[in-house]
Structure 1
């Protein structure tokens, strides 16, 4: 078997060893975020298991090394009635002083693709990520690699990002490649008025971890994988295309008391196996509306769908799954969220074995509390 280069594998440790060599240190920022929940039933492509549990509970340490760079380490624990899982989700160094709006990041980090992927799940407005993220990105995609981003000197906000990863987290296997995945993304945004703002983006991810002779549409996991501890993609292909659009309204830009957020994303995954033609691909979309109607209260509605191809040799069977989520959230302080969410799924009858679920109707109670310093939420 061909030996794989260890360059990208050793980055999460190497970046912190390199950062420790910097002489000028500030005090580290330490934060803890606890995400506790109770879920009435398991659902298809669910990110949380039935019953009581912890999902994406994270301990983060952030350190600035002079004016040169900043480093971050994020350890994550997930626990439910089946098992407890620990992982390192972030371990990277990021430059602070490169010229011309450039930023270089190396180690393990969240990819910039899509609207939600670069955000931590506890910042989401719903209990679980949309279906397309759970199906095509394992909830949220992070990996070991290098990333370069550029903020353009334009009146509109314009950011361009290029990333290269070893790809093992997406495939949940050793692909044997130094660069298993690479991604390009760009984001534009601006203000329409004092009360309105927008952001739009497109992204592309090339998956090189799939062997020509053996890859198919479905990344097989064990029986516990739908319970929140699998971070690999369920449905894969060589090419992933993403488009996102977000619009926000708040009176005179003051979102503390009132804000309406509309967001939507579309994803297409092509070449699920070597027999796939132009009409055999996976796709998914969602649209959501979240309204903060009082300083401590918000409500939201999200609807989405994924259409996937089940490969059987040189032919395919199509399956679809729709999901609607309604949530009500109370934020007694800016570090606490108590959220009640009702989720309904609609699975085509002949695909119930594939989209295995205990119930089409799920009720989830979620409580999030954060301690210490934590990054400001993105747009």
Structure 2
């Protein structure tokens, strides 16, 4: 309440009381005077409170105006170059190498050292297999075997480049060997969603070949991978680039082009100096919140002799993968169906040989840690369409944790040719696979 209004109220009260004073007895006048004093005291308290509140409001408004003036007069932010120079100067001042006359590293070098100082991700994977076979003389012949031991290193070299290295230790023809399975650099700084890499890597042919042995949902690679590319699959030294293709539908379309050395036995082998050219197209579709579908096409070609292209082998592949994992119960229920078809045309001395093979597999997750699966294989041999084999396998997997699983499997194989004296195989597998360290996530 403002002061002039307060005075007006007091005057009205006094005038009213004065007019009534002559009509009231002395005792009543005394009571009125006391009431007037109490009312006056209350008004004085209210006036003091109003003054304090007004002072606080004025102080707050003044502070807000000062802040606004400071914001209006704020100097321009330093440019990235100025920030870089300032940070470089601070780094030079803090380092012990700041002695006069000694060249100081630049900002990029300092950032690179920061990335290098962080330890790379180190992982270890071990694959232990027990095996029984009705056929004698195979690589796995009624025995337990530490089949494969893998050590991986992965990490960022600098803000633009990462490195992946995989060393493998395994038994071959009764002896243990150490191989450099993968060692490549991936550059992450290019525009237009381009991601090149170079070094030694597993080739992106189809769905099963790019995966390491321990990442498979089966004990062994499908027949088409082993028969056409060998037990270790198609890999080699070379370069490649991955392009995330823009499209109006905003779908995930990935195109991969790779050039690797032509040292696989399917082509010319290690005696040639030509290259394998590979093109892979992958499309990914979200069917629902729980289901996805991935479709891939692959083409690869290379000379299969020393004639620098006079005789060639061409490969075409098609892969289809369906996954179902409901968001609410995905930890306990899921389904995977994966199919792959491969066709080959090889220019041989007697003419062109056309062969093909395929597999189809399904996995169903019964509970959080239990998975059952099966796979059917059919494959002709790369150099003869008249020789073929087919097989049926079933698996039961216990996922003890993210880093350890146990798998029991059975595989039946029927051929129209002899392998170590037999056309049919009955095989039983017991697999234990475990990992240590920071193991990278596998491709979806």
- Give the TM-score normalised by structure 1: 0.80
The alpha-carbon distance between structure 1 residues 85 and 49, as it changes in their structure 2 partners (threshold 3 A), is farther
8 Å contact 1:180–1:207 — kept in the other structure?
Answer: yes
8 Å contact 2:292–2:324 — kept in the other structure?
Answer: yes
Q: CA deviation at 1:308?
A: 2.8
Q: CA deviation at 1:109?
A: 0.6
Is 2:346 aligned against 1:271? yes
- Name the CA distance, whole Å, in 2 between partners of 1:371 and 1:336: 9
Is 2:418 aligned against 1:352? yes
Is 2:368 aligned against 1:295? yes
- Give the TM-score normalised by structure 2: 0.69
8 Å contact 1:282–1:307 — kept in the other structure?
Answer: yes
- Name the CA distance, whole Å, in 1 between partners of 2:271 and 2:427: 36
Q: CA deviation at 1:253?
A: 7.2
Is 2:389 aligned against 1:321? yes
Moved more, 295-304 or 150-159: 150-159
8 Å contact 1:53–1:81 — kept in the other structure?
Answer: no
Is 2:230 aligned against 1:138? yes
| Aligned ranges 1:148-187 → 2 under 5 Å | 148-154=241-247, 155-170=250-265, 173-177=269-273, 179-187=274-282
Matched residue, 2:291:
196
* Higher helix content, 1 or 2: 2
CA RMSD of the aligned region, Å? 2.8
Moved more, 197-206 or 147-156: 147-156
- Name the CA distance, whole Å, in 2 between partners of 1:363 and 1:135: 21
8 Å contact 1:73–1:90 — kept in the other structure?
Answer: yes
Q: CA deviation at 1:55?
A: 2.5
8 Å contact 2:163–2:184 — kept in the other structure?
Answer: yes
Matched residue, 2:60:
none
- Name the CA distance, whole Å, in 1 between partners of 2:138 and 2:203: 21
- Name the CA distance, whole Å, in 2 between partners of 1:54 and 1:31: 17
Q: CA deviation at 1:322?
A: 0.4
Is 2:336 aligned against 1:244? no
Matched residue, 2:187:
95
The alpha-carbon distance between structure 1 residues 329 and 375, as it changes in their structure 2 partners (threshold 3 A), is same
1:315-346 Cα shifts (integer Å, max 9, x gaps): xx711100111000001101111000000001
The alpha-carbon distance between structure 1 residues 254 and 175, as it changes in their structure 2 partners (threshold 3 A), is farther
Matched residue, 1:377:
442
Matched residue, 2:354:
281
- Name the CA distance, whole Å, in 2 between partners of 1:191 and 1:253: 17
- Name the CA distance, whole Å, in 1 between partners of 2:129 and 2:212: 17
Q: Aligned to 1:251, what secondary structure does the other structure show?
A: coil
- Name the CA distance, whole Å, in 2 between partners of 1:74 and 1:35: 15
Matched residue, 2:17:
none
- Name the CA distance, whole Å, in 1 between partners of 2:421 and 2:276: 29
- Name the CA distance, whole Å, in 2 between partners of 1:80 and 1:254: 43
Matched residue, 2:305:
210
Matched residue, 1:30:
122
The alpha-carbon distance between structure 1 residues 310 and 119, as it changes in their structure 2 partners (threshold 3 A), is closer
Count of residue pairs brought into register by the alignment: 329
Q: Aligned to 1:300, what secondary structure does the other structure show?
A: strand
Q: CA deviation at 1:370?
A: 0.3
Structure 2: tracts of 5 or more residues without a match: 1-110
Matched residue, 1:121:
213
Matched residue, 1:223:
none
- Structure scoring higher RCO (CA < 8 A, sep ≥ 6) equals 1
Matched residue, 2:334:
259
The alpha-carbon distance between structure 1 residues 273 and 48, as it changes in their structure 2 partners (threshold 3 A), is farther
1:27-64 Cα shifts (integer Å, max 9, x gaps): 20000000000111276997755522122320001121
8 Å contact 2:318–2:341 — kept in the other structure?
Answer: yes
The alpha-carbon distance between structure 1 residues 110 and 22, as it changes in their structure 2 partners (threshold 3 A), is farther
Q: CA deviation at 1:372?
A: 0.5
- Name the CA distance, whole Å, in 2 between partners of 1:172 and 1:22: 42
Bigger Rg, structure 1 or 2: 2
Structure 1: tracts of 5 or more residues without a match: 1-20, 217-236, 312-316
Matched residue, 1:67:
159
8 Å contact 2:134–2:426 — kept in the other structure?
Answer: no
